[in-house]
Structure 1
Amino acid sequence: MATAEATVRTDPDTATVKRLRLGVGVIGLALPIVLPLGNSILSAHLGLLASLSGSYYTHMRNVFVGGLCAIGVILLCYRHNRREDVWSSVAGCFSVVVALCPMEPPASVVAHPTAQQQALGVLHTVSAAVVFTALAFFCLRLFRDDSEPDGPLRRRIYLVCGIVIAACIVGIVVAGVLHFSGVGPLTPVFAGESLSVFAFGAAWFVKSDAIVDLARATGRSGVAALWR
């Protein structure tokens, strides 16, 4: 029994899965904060972006592209079970497409976008929708599957994160149909993208067991039990 338990604790596959989840979680949590904050600092102009995707046309282009490519590669490398492998591969592939195919440039950057820029913009939007849909499915279904050992608190967090992502997708679409441009500098696209990215980052961070591992390392067994 002791040998079996030791094997579980030191299983390299399990450790790798947890690290990949942590990587996605940290990047997802960081991007909605780093992109607008970094652009404000580098441009010496305090303000919000029109959209996270619009970061491609700002001083934060490399961070935006690099962050999405990192998420894409991690998801492509992620392996846990057959269903999660399929959905993570889909999300990873389209994350790279989102990174490498920029949205249609805003009028402030290019007054008359070319046909190629418009086509890339459509591909970017469709790919982003696929990524968010896949990540919402992770939160709403895969992470909450009965075969997963997560406790009730974590399952509620996944549910909330999934609902947030789904609601943001719907909100962005509805705002576009109604031509609602937002309130002040806050646009529906920026708000929806930021909340979605932050929500899936939070879900993957929690799923990585980082909180549980830290609590155990610091001797806080009660916290570890709560978050288990």
Structure 2
Amino acid sequence: MRFDEFVTTPPRPAPTDLGGRKYVQSFLLIRLVIGFLGWSLPIVLVAGSFVLGEDDPWKDSISAYYHFGMGDVFVGAFCATALFLFSYMAFERNFDNVVSIVAGIAALGVAFFPTPGGPTLTPVQELLGERVAGAIHFTSAAVFVLALAAICWRFGRGEGVRPDRTPRQHARGRALHYTCAGSIVVAVAYIAVAAAVALPGLLDEKAVFFGETLAVLAFGVSWFVKGTELRLLLGPVDAGA
């Protein structure tokens, strides 16, 4: 396993290679789905809570939705993300695959070990204790978010070595993915600062929600953009391309 090896989109298939085309489409579709799950989750959770008529559809954190009407959606989204992260590069032996697997395991930790503060204790909290379950949740969340930043950064590094892109496209790709990685780091720093220093109004009250939302949106955008190459395969492919 080498750190400088990058997972890139498989070579574009020839027009007559239907099997190869379907393989690449599947690879890119996984990226699209992971990206969609990332940027849509905060929107779906807030909108769903509003539709369900909850008194406070805008919770203090994304994890807090576990304890309310959108809890199944929260758990399902993180489990689906974990499965996609596990299968995305399952047979690749490189650093990207390790980070992807770590992120997947952490996503399951976020889903199965709830954050403290619910109206009643869950079976997991009763078994382990609310404090222990919360510690596992927060550790998993931290690992998950940092792994997301690493994946986005690796996407940016990988953009610079693609032979099928122009220098301008390389620069654009690197800028986008590095911005997403940086946004995740900023989100983590913001949550840490808000925990240590009193900020005004909602910037303090909803700091965790704002930070988590920025992180998953940045992650989702990075992955979604990596998957939008799918549209190139849906159109005509020249033999010499």
1:120 aligned partner? 133
Contact 1:26/1:205, CA 8 A, preserved across alignment: yes
> What does the per-residue CA deviation read over 1:21-59, in whole Å, with 9 as the maximum and x for residues that have no partner?
111011111101000110111025464111000000110
**Residue among 4, 27, 35 paired with 1:17:** 27
TM-score using structure 1 length: 0.81
Q: Relative to structure 2, which stretch is displaced further, 80-89 or 160-169?
A: 80-89
**Residue among 181, 203, 211 paired with 1:192:** 211
How far off its partner does 1:17 sit? 2.0
Q: Any gaps of 5 or more consecutive residues in structure 1?
A: 220-228
> What does the per-residue CA deviation read over 1:78-127, in whole Å, with 9 as the maximum and x for residues that have no partner?
11562211110110111011100111125xx259x877111111111111
1:37 aligned partner? 47
**Number of matched pairs:** 212
Q: Any gaps of 5 or more consecutive residues in structure 2?
A: 1-12, 237-241
Report the aligned-residue RMSD.
Answer: 2.9
**Residue among 144, 165, 171 paired with 2:184:** 165
Q: Does 1:94 align with 2:109?
A: no
Task: Give, as a single letter, the amino acid of the residue that structure 2 aligns with 1:196.
Answer: A
1:147 aligned partner? 161
Contact 1:181/1:187, CA 8 A, preserved across alignment: no
Task: Give, as a single letter, the amino acid of the residue that structure 2 aligns with 1:214.
Answer: R
1:214 aligned partner? 231
TM-score using structure 2 length: 0.77
How far off its partner does 1:214 sit? 3.3
Specify whether residues 89 and 187 from structure 1 end up closer, same or farther in structure 2 by C-alpha distance, changes over 3 A only: same
2:82 aligned partner? 72
Specify whether residues 96 and 105 from structure 1 end up closer, same or farther in structure 2 by C-alpha distance, changes over 3 A only: same
Contact 2:194/2:204, CA 8 A, preserved across alignment: no
**Residue among 99, 105, 111 paired with 2:117:** 105
Separation in 2, partners of 1:15, 1:81: 21
Q: Does 1:136 align with 2:130?
A: no
Specify whether residues 165 and 41 from structure 1 end up closer, same or farther in structure 2 by C-alpha distance, changes over 3 A only: same
- The structure carrying a bigger helix percent of its residues is 1
How far off its partner does 1:196 sit? 0.6
SS of equivalent residue, structure 1 residue 144: helix
